Homo-oligomer: A and B are copies of this chain.
Amino acid sequence: MQHCCKFMDIFSKKNIRPTTFRKEIVSIFEAKDHAITTKEIEEALGKHDRITLYRTLKLFIENGVIHEITLPNEEKTYALCEEECADGEHQHEHLHFKCEVCERIYCIELPQAPQFDLKNFIVKSMEINLRGICDHCN
| Copies of the chain in the assembly | 2
The yes or no answer to A46 lying at the interface (CB within 8 A) is no
Question: Among residues 85 to 138 in chain A, which have CB atoms less than 8 Å away from a CB atom of chain B?
Answer: 95, 97, 100, 108, 110, 114, 116, 118-135, 138
Set of chain B residues within 8 Å of A130, measured between Cβ atoms: 116, 118, 121, 123-127
A138 to B120: give the CA distance in the assembly, Å: 7
Chain A residues within 8 Å of chain B by Cβ, number:
33
- Identify the 4 closest CB pairs spanning chains A and B, nearest first: A120-B135, A124-B132, A127-B129, A70-B70
Q: Which residues of A contact B (CB under 8 A)?
A: 67-73, 95, 97, 100, 108, 110, 114, 116, 118-135, 138
